[in-house]
Structure 1
């Protein structure tokens, strides 16, 4: 059951018939999938962004709602607030740098799947690798991710925004590496900005010197970095393509590789590897003094104390 208070209905009627219709459609989706939104800051709070181009005569909307305990009874959904972001008017053209192919419902699904995968990862780390869990930074606010988008002049995909709302990087300690194979560390938002700007500057110099070249470029404006070899070593890293949702990597030689794998798929695979390590070939999760270390480790010293996790 989805409850819409009279005050919210009156507000939507004042905003126009397109908003009334958009809310009606959204409520129908919430009745089927109450977890489609991204997590808010209050207990049981979620938010869904409705793009301004999806419904006729409807501006962009942020719809905040509560679902289930402790705010409501089990199974209940209540719309709490409808905001019209001042910085998000109805668009008549696609944004210059990516994200245009992601509709509001698709974005909500991507955000929910990312949230689910990360919560599985965080739960495993909290129980089995507390040192690695302690290295994770708190999530970022919408204001902080919005400032990042403005600094980069790029629209961050919903999956990456959802990850940053839960964890906005790692601190520089042993064991901060997280993702399989190389132990990639999550970048802080400041590092994301500086890394992106450095790549764009390299791209600018490349174009000035050699002109536009076919094939894989040095960088694309839609590529948003999110993790690196370590917290301080940015010579290797991974990015999400805001236009396609695909992930990719770069290295110090200038090689760029794009994979047919989304951020959601990457995190879901990591969660599966942690929970069911025997099902996957390649790098295995293991522990050194409460720290997650993918292995077997390369150095004899680490191999001697590394304990593989068998599930």
Structure 2
């Protein structure tokens, strides 16, 4: 296990500890993502999943999208912890050529196809904001008006931030 993988796992353990204190307050977590599914996702996106994100998905492939009273579905710093299907959908939404012009106008640049979404907030029609992991393992964010390439230097840093806020 590499240092980045171990660091990501330790950071996730803090999030998991916070969830375990009030498990009914959080959506159920998905099982680990099968490696075959991660490889298939990489093929569809034509992008490599960074090692730190792969380590996180080795623990849980996101959380189920359960929005019930008193449940913090958006525990990932105001966003849901998404599964591979949503990752693929968001990635396609931002990287398809038709959409690139739209987002260039909003953000002043296009989405880098190497960015892999890890969380998202949705309304009834689209993914309105979220966080992504870049090829170097840094974490950036997007919303309707802003694209920020580096919000957290590593996925572990982001997970520690999430745990601190829980």
What TM-score, normalized to structure 1?
0.46
**What is the alpha-carbon distance in structure 2 between the residues aligned to residue 238 and residue 263 of structure 1?**
10
Match of 2:157 in 1: 265
Q: Which has the larger radius of gyration?
A: 1
Task: Work out which of the residue numbers 32, 43, 56 in structure 2 matches 1:150.
Answer: 43
Aligned length: 158
Task: Work out which of the residue numbers 195, 216, 234 in structure 1 matches 2:127.
Answer: 234
Task: Work out which of the residue numbers 185, 200, 210 in structure 1 matches 2:95.
Answer: 200
Question: Are the equivalent residues in 1 in contact too, given 2:75–2:162 (CA < 8 A)?
Answer: no
What RMSD, in angstroms, separates the aligned Cα atoms of the two structures? Answer: 2.5
Task: Work out which of the residue numbers 214, 231, 245 in structure 1 matches 2:137.
Answer: 245
**What is the alpha-carbon distance in structure 2 between the residues aligned to residue 265 and residue 149 of structure 1?**
24
Question: Are the equivalent residues in 2 in contact too, given 1:247–1:259 (CA < 8 A)?
Answer: yes
Match of 2:8 in 1: 114
Q: Would the alpha carbon gap of residues 205 and 149 (structure 1) be closer, same or farther in structure 2, given more than 3 Å must change?
A: same
Is residue 70 of structure 2 the alignment partner of residue 177 of structure 1? no
Query: What 5-or-longer segments of structure 2 have no aligned partner?
Result: none
Q: Give 1:252 shift.
A: 2.1
What TM-score, normalized to structure 2?
0.83
Match of 1:78 in 2: none
Q: Give 1:133 shift.
A: 4.5
Q: Give 1:144 shift.
A: 1.4
Partner SS, residue 85 of structure 2:
helix
Larger % of helix: which?
A: 2
**What is the alpha-carbon distance in structure 1 between the residues aligned to residue 94 and residue 158 of structure 2?**
23
Q: Would the alpha carbon gap of residues 257 and 187 (structure 1) be closer, same or farther in structure 2, given more than 3 Å must change?
A: same
**What is the alpha-carbon distance in structure 2 between the residues aligned to residue 249 and residue 172 of structure 1?**
20
Deviations 1:6-40 (A, max 9, x none): xxxxxxxxxxxxxxxxxxxxxxxxxxxxxxx1xxx
Task: Work out which of the residue numbers 24, 31, 34 in structure 2 matches 1:138.
Answer: 31
Q: Would the alpha carbon gap of residues 151 and 165 (structure 1) be closer, same or farther in structure 2, given more than 3 Å must change?
A: same
Partner SS, residue 226 of structure 1:
strand
Deviations 1:230-275 (A, max 9, x none): 4965111111111x3221111123x21122522111112333x1xx
Question: Are the equivalent residues in 1 in contact too, given 2:81–2:118 (CA < 8 A)?
Answer: yes
Greater RCO, CA 8 A, separation 6+ = 2
Question: Are the equivalent residues in 2 in contact too, given 1:115–1:163 (CA < 8 A)?
Answer: yes
Question: Are the equivalent residues in 1 in contact too, given 2:26–2:75 (CA < 8 A)?
Answer: no
**What is the alpha-carbon distance in structure 1 between the residues aligned to residue 122 and residue 61 of structure 2?**
15
Q: Would the alpha carbon gap of residues 132 and 110 (structure 1) be closer, same or farther in structure 2, given more than 3 Å must change?
A: farther
**What is the alpha-carbon distance in structure 1 between the residues aligned to residue 48 and residue 111 of structure 2?**
16
